Amino acid sequence: MASSKSGFTTLVSKKYDPLTKWVTRAIVLLIAFTTFSWLDTIKDRWYVFDPVHLHELQLSALATSPNNTAGMISHIITNLTATYPSTRLSINSNTSEWVFNNAGGAMGAMYIIHASITEYLIIFGTPLGTEGHSGLHPADDYFHILVGEQWAFQPGALEMERYRPGDVHLMRRGVAKQYKMHEGCWAMEYARGWIPFMMPFGLADTFTSTLDIPTLYRTIRITAREMGKNLLLGKI
C-alpha cells in the first residue's frame, strides 16, 4: 500500500513540477481576471430597467395611492407588466409572495418583483422599523422610499441623511452605510450590477443568527426561479 502511494506521489510530482503548476495557475487566474474585467465593462447592455422611469413610477404610485402601501405596490406591478413585454423580461406579479430578509443585522420582509444576473427589483420594508449595516455591494443600489423614512450615515458624517417618500437614496457600488428605517418604512429597491455576489450578504444572517431554514429555502427558490425565467428569455 505504502509503496504504491509513494509511487503515485512521485508520478504526480514528476508530471507537474512546481514551476509548471504555478505558471498554469497564474495563467488561469489572468484569464479569469481579464474575462471578468471585460464583462464588467459591458454589463450595462444587459440592463432593462431605467432609473429615471423607476423614479417617475415611484412618484406616480405615491400620487395615485396616498396612504395605501398595497395600492402603491399594485400600481407599480400594473405599470411594469404593461411596460415590459413578458417575452423580454420576467416580472413576478404575485404580490402575496413575501419572505423575511435578515441582512447586516436589519430585518424586514421583501417581495421579489424581478431578479436576474445583473438587476433586481424588490419591495423591502417593515412596519416596525429596523436598523443595520447596508452591506458592501458590487452593484449600484437605488432605494425609492414609498412610506416612512430611511435614515443613513457614513463614518465622518456627524449629521444623518434623511430620505422621505418620493426620495431616492442612491448608494453607489462599494459604498457602505449604517441605515435605519425609523418607525417602519417601505421602499422599492432597484439594484444593478453583479447580483449573485450580493447574495452571500443577503443570506449570511440565516447561518449566523436566525437559522430560519424555511425562509432561506423560499428565498433561494424564488430567486433561482426568477433568474432562471429571465435567463430563458435571454435576459442576463
Ligand X SMILES: *[C@@H]1O[C@H](CO)[C@@H](O)[C@H](O)[C@H]1NC(C)=O
Q: Using CB under 6 A as the criterion, which residues of the chain lie in contact with ligand X when the complex forms?
A: 53, 56-57, 60, 66-67, 79, 82-83, 94, 96-97
Q: Grid coordinates in use for 203?
A: 443570506
Shortest reach from residue 54's CB to ligand X, in Å: 8
Please say which residue, 201 or 215, places its beta carbon nearer to ligand X. 215
C-alpha dihedral, 180 to 171 to 196 to 181, nearest 10°: 10
Closest CA to 123 of 196, 181, 194, 37: 181
Q: How far is the CB of 184 from ligand X (least distance, A)?
A: 13
For cell 443595520, name the residue.
132
What minimum distance in Å lies between the beta carbon of 62 and ligand X? 10
Closer Cβ to ligand X, 111 or 143, answer by number: 111
Minimum distance between the CB of residue 142 and ligand X, rounded to whole angstroms?
15
The neighbour count for residue 226, using CB atoms within 10 Å, is 19
Q: Smallest distance, Å, CB 203 to ligand X?
A: 19
